């Protein structure tokens, strides 16, 4: 029986008729949702005006706390939030780097700064006490949970050095949670005192490493996926209290951590990345399918949208492509280490 014969023999069947009709409606609905979320991404990325940080207390004597503020993306958050008119508490490991940055911010943007230096990998109570001592009396409205560590090079999980594993989880997860427990209550009380005339904001740095399960970066990948769920849960809790909580997802950015120096269409520098993030706070951009999540840089957003709407982030295809990519990066990194060791010997 040909397909035409089959269709004509079924055309009088009411069950088949309604099944086909239902499938058509389902297809149209799916396409409409896809079209609307693509439109919403383009609108958020390229058309809507930048978010006005007055709603988060800019130019009203309010404070932002930025962790990992002495380098890379965190340093850029500190500079760009200061430029918007927020006083800045800079938190990081190296006191001398923080002092230089604080002086530069104060002279450039005429805002106040404070610094807190501790090694977040130690999970020492003294770290959080020293932070509390500095911030407890400040009208804080913004927290940027930026501090993070990845693997020094892609590595099989079973060969991951125990210190590296502990440091990644302690810095990315434990310290982020404990810092938030110190700072978020202060944000809530600032918003209460202001009778909700300003809002609070908590940004946490996620990663494509957490968006996509990433072989050879398994611990880092898991730590960032943890932040996705934690940040989204916190977003639900703090929304009624006037605090916007958002996970910020990024693909590669030039920095000491990524060990990439040259920018490209898919790899911005920290300045470009942070400008895109602050411009579009509260929008989902590439993270259309996720609550309280933003993939803000335009090319990262398109990559996120394309993966989520084709193979899916948890698919076998995405996993094996990611595996091949990180195997290749590990191979190159090992070769480079060998070359450097040989040069040292000569």
Ligand X SMILES: NC(=O)c1ccc[n+]([C@@H]2O[C@H](COP(=O)([O-])OP(=O)(O)OC[C@H]3O[C@@H](n4cnc5c(N)ncnc54)[C@H](OP(=O)(O)O)[C@@H]3O)[C@@H](O)[C@H]2O)c1
Alpha-carbon gap, residue 227 to 210, rounded angstroms: 8
Binding-site member from 70, 228, 288, 295 for ligand X (CB under 6 A): 70
96 in a known ligand binding site: no
Element (H, E) at 141: strand 140-145
Cα torsion angle, 294, 69, 271, 172, sign: negative
Closest among 301, 261, 309 to 277, alpha carbons compared: 301
Binding-site member from 45, 62, 63, 72 for ligand X (CB under 6 A): 72
Phi/psi at 282 (5° precision): 90, -10
Is residue 268 within the footprint of ligand X (CB under 6 A)? no
Helices (H), 114-262: 125-135, 162-169, 176-193, 208-211, 218-238
Q: Which is nearer to ligand X, 161 or 338 (CB)?
A: 161
Alpha-carbon gap, residue 47 to 25, rounded angstroms: 31
Piece in contact with ligand X (CB under 6 A), picked from 29-37, 152-160, 253-261, 302-310: 253-261
Active-site residue (options: 56, 220, 251, 297): 220
In the region spanning residues 104 to 123, those forming contacts with ligand X, defined by CB under 6 A, are: 119-121
In whole angstroms, how close is the CB of 304 to ligand X at the nearest point? 12
Binding-site member from 80, 92, 228, 288 for ligand X (CB under 6 A): 92
In whole angstroms, how close is the CB of 258 to ligand X at the nearest point? 3
Binding-site member from 87, 149, 221, 285 for ligand X (CB under 6 A): 149
What lies within 8 Å, CB to CB, of 274 at 6+ separation is: 73, 76, 77, 80
DSSP 89-102: EEEES-HHHHHHHH
Piece in contact with ligand X (CB under 6 A), picked from 28-36, 148-156, 303-311, 327-335: 148-156
Is residue 223 within the footprint of ligand X (CB under 6 A)? no
What lies within 8 Å, CB to CB, of 16 at 6+ separation is: 10
Q: Around Cβ 163, how many Cβ atoms within 10 Å?
A: 9
Is residue 88 within the footprint of ligand X (CB under 6 A)? no
The yes-or-no answer on residue 220 being catalytic is yes
Q: Which is nearer to ligand X, 99 or 119 (CB)?
A: 119
Alpha-carbon gap, residue 181 to 65, rounded angstroms: 13
Residue 296: strand, helix, or coil: coil
Q: Which is nearer to ligand X, 199 or 220 (CB)?
A: 220
Binding-site member from 8, 32, 94, 266 for ligand X (CB under 6 A): 94
Q: Which is nearer to ligand X, 146 or 285 (CB)?
A: 146
Is residue 200 within the footprint of ligand X (CB under 6 A)? no
Q: How much is the CA Rg of the chain, to the nearest whole Å?
A: 23
Q: Which is nearer to ligand X, 297 or 305 (CB)?
A: 297
Contact yes or no for 291/245 (Cβ under 8 A): no
In whole angstroms, how close is the CB of 297 to ligand X at the nearest point? 10
Residues serving a catalytic function are: 220
Bind-site residues = 207
Using CB under 6 A, list all residues that contact ligand X: 68-74, 92-94, 97, 119-121, 146-150, 171, 205, 207, 250, 252-253, 255-258
């Amino acid at each position: 029986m040909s397909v035409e014969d089959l269709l004509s023999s079924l055309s009088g069947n009411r069950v088949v008729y309604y099944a086909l009709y239902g499938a058509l409606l389902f297809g149209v609905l799916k396409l409409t949702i896809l079209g609307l979320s693509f439109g919403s991404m383009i609108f958020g990325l390229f058309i809507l005006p930048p978010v006005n940080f007055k709603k988060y207390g800019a130019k009203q004597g309010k404070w932002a706390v930025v962790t990992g503020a002495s380098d890379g993306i965190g340093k850029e958050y500190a500079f760009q939030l200061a430029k918007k008119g927020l006083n800045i508490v800079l938190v990081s490991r190296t006191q001398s780097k923080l002092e230089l940055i604080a002086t530069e911010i104060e002279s450039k943007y005429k805002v106040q700064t404070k610094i807190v230096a501790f090694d977040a990998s130690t999970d020492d109570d003294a770290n959080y006490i020293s932070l509390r001592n500095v911030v407890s009396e400040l009208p804080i409205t913004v927290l940027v949970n930026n501090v993070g560590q990845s693997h020094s090079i892609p590595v099989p999980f079973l060969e991951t050095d125990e210190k590296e594993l502990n440091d990644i989880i302690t810095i990315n997860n434990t310290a982020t949670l404990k810092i938030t427990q110190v700072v978020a209550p202060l944000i809530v009380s600032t918003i209460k005192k202001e009778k909700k005339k300003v809002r609070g904001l908590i940004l946490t740095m996620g990663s494509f490493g957490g968006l996509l399960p990433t072989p050879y970066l398994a611990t880092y990948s898991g730590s960032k996926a943890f932040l996705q769920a934690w940040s989204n849960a916190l977003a639900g809790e703090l929304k009624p209290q006037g605090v916007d909580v958002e996970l910020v997802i990024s693909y590669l950015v030039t920095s000491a951590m990524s060990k990439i120096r040259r920018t490209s269409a898919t790899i911005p520098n920290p300045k470009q990345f942070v400008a895109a993030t602050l411009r579009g706070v509260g929008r989902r951009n590439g993270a259309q399918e996720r609550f309280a999540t933003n993939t803000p840089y335009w090319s990262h957003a398109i990559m996120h949208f394309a993966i989520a709407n084709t193979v899916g982030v948890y698919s076998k295809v995405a996993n094996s492509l990611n595996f091949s990519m990180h195997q290749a990066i590990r191979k190159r990194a090992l070769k480079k280490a060998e070359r450097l060791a040989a040069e040292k010997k000569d």
